[in-house]
Homo-oligomer: A and B are copies of this chain.
Amino acid sequence: MAKMEDVAKVAGVSKSTVSNVFSEKRPISKEVKERVLRIANELNYKPNYWARSLAVKETRIIGLNMQAEKVKFSQFHLSLLNGVLNECYKQGYRLLVNTLSDNYKNKVEFQTSDPVDGEILLDPEIEDPRIVGRMKQNIPLVVIGKPPQTYEDKLSYVDNNNVSAAEGIGKHLISLGHKDILFLNAPSFRTVSMDRELGFKISLKEAGIELDSDQVVYKDKKSSSVEFGYEKAKEILIQNNKITAIITDNDKMALGVYRAAEEEGYSIPNDLAVISFSDDSVYATEFSPPLSCVHLNGEQLGSESAKLLIDQLHTNKPLVKRIIVPTHFEKRGSCSNS
C-alpha cells in the first residue's frame, strides 16, 4: 500500500502538500492538486485512517454499546440502530458496534481503550458497570433510556416518557372497567422497568385499586419474550385467575399471551385485554385482533441520541442534556371492541 511519501516523491512535492490536497485545509494550486490526485490514483493511494486519527486525535467513529451477554439485537434495537445510523450517515460518522464477550472483553477492554470519539449506551441497568467505567474514563457518553439514579444528572440521555406512558395505559384499562391487571414487565435489573412500574402503580392508586404483589412480573433472562408471555399467561388463565387484562413489555411477549389465550379458549379482547409496549414491528396490526400498543418511536430515540452525542463531541463541553421522546398510544382491537 502506497503511502503519502511515495505520492509526494513521484509528484515532486512535499508530504504536506499531498496531505493538504486530501484534507483541503489549505489552498493548493490547481495544477499541483491535479497532478497529486492523478498520481495518488495511479498508485492506488489513500490516506491511512489510523495514522490520521493518531495525529488529529479524533476518529469520527461513535460506538454503540450493548450488554455483552445479550448480543442479540431485537426489533426495537433495530429501530434504534436505524435512527443512529441515519444520523451518523448525515454527519459523516461511522458506527462501531461493540459486543465483546465477557471472557474476551475483559482481555480486550483491558488491553486498549475503545477506538471511538464517544459512545451511545443501550439498555442501561440499575447497577451498570459500563456507565461507571465510561464516566471514569471521561468518554463522551449518551445513554438511551434512563440512567441509574446516581448518574441521572451527570450525563446526557434520551428516553421515552415511560412513567406517564404506563400511567396512561393503566388509566385506559381502568376506564374500560378493568381492575385486575397483570403487568409483564421488563427484567427487574433494567432501569426502564422501574419507571413503567411506577406509572402503572400511579394509575391504580388514583383509581383506588389495590395491587397484589404478583401482578407485576419481571421477565427473566432464561426464556425468550414469546415464551415468557406464553408461560405467564398460561399460568394465570389455567388458575382461572381474576386477571382481565395484561400489559406486556413488547410485542413478542404479547404474541405469547395470544397463544396462551387461544389455547385456553379465552377470547381477546372480550375475556382478556392486551396492551403492549411496542417494539416497532409493522406486524402489530396483523395480530388477530390487532394489538394495541404504546409506540416508542425507537428510530427517533436513536437519531436524537446520535445527534446529541455528536453535538457534544463538537462543542467539547461536557454538557448534560436530557431529551424525552414522546410515546403515543395506538388503540386497536386487543383492548376493546368499540
Stretch from A69-77, A198-206, A270-278 contacting the other chain: A69-77
Q: Is the CB of A48 within 8 A of B92?
A: no
- CB closest chain-B residue, reference A102: B89
Q: Is the CB of B85 within 8 A of A71?
A: yes
Candidates B51, B53, B112, B286; contact of A46 at CB < 8 Å? B112
Query: In chain A between 38 and 79, which residues have their CB closer than 8 angstroms to a CB of chain B?
Result: 44, 46-54, 59, 61, 68, 71-73, 75, 78
- A281 vs B75: C-alpha distance when bound (angstroms): 9
- A46 vs B109: C-alpha distance when bound (angstroms): 9
Chain B residues with CB under 8 Å of A1's CB are 113, 138
How many chain A residues touch B (CB < 8 A): the figure is 60
A267 contacts the other chain (CB 8 A): no
Chain B residues with CB under 8 Å of A283's CB are 255, 281, 283, 286
Stretch from A93-101, A156-164, A181-189 contacting the other chain: A93-101
Complex copy number for this chain = 2
Q: Is the CB of B48 within 8 A of A112?
A: yes
Q: How far is the CB of A43 from chain B (nearest CB, A)?
A: 12
Query: In chain A between 252 and 294, which residues have their CB closer than 8 angstroms to a CB of chain B?
Result: 252, 255, 258, 281-283, 286-288
- CB closest chain-B residue, reference A93: B100
Chain B residues with CB under 8 Å of A85's CB are 71, 73, 97, 99
Q: How far is the CB of A132 from chain B (nearest CB, A)?
A: 13
- A23 vs B226: C-alpha distance when bound (angstroms): 43
Candidates B50, B81, B286; contact of A53 at CB < 8 Å? B50
Q: Is the CB of B104 within 8 A of A89?
A: yes
Candidates B50, B96, B113; contact of A96 at CB < 8 Å? B96
A90 contacts the other chain (CB 8 A): yes
With contact pairs A73-B81, A78-B75, A282-B226 given, residues A98 and B92 touching in the complex (Cβ less than 8 Å): no
- A47 vs B288: C-alpha distance when bound (angstroms): 55
Q: Is the CB of A108 within 8 A of B82?
A: no
A86 contacts the other chain (CB 8 A): yes
- A50 vs B60: C-alpha distance when bound (angstroms): 12
Q: How far is the CB of A337 from chain B (nearest CB, A)?
A: 18
Candidates B82, B91, B110, B113; contact of A73 at CB < 8 Å? B82
- CB closest chain-B residue, reference A59: B50
The 4 closest A-B pairs by CB, nearest first: A49-B115, A283-B283, A46-B113, A50-B53
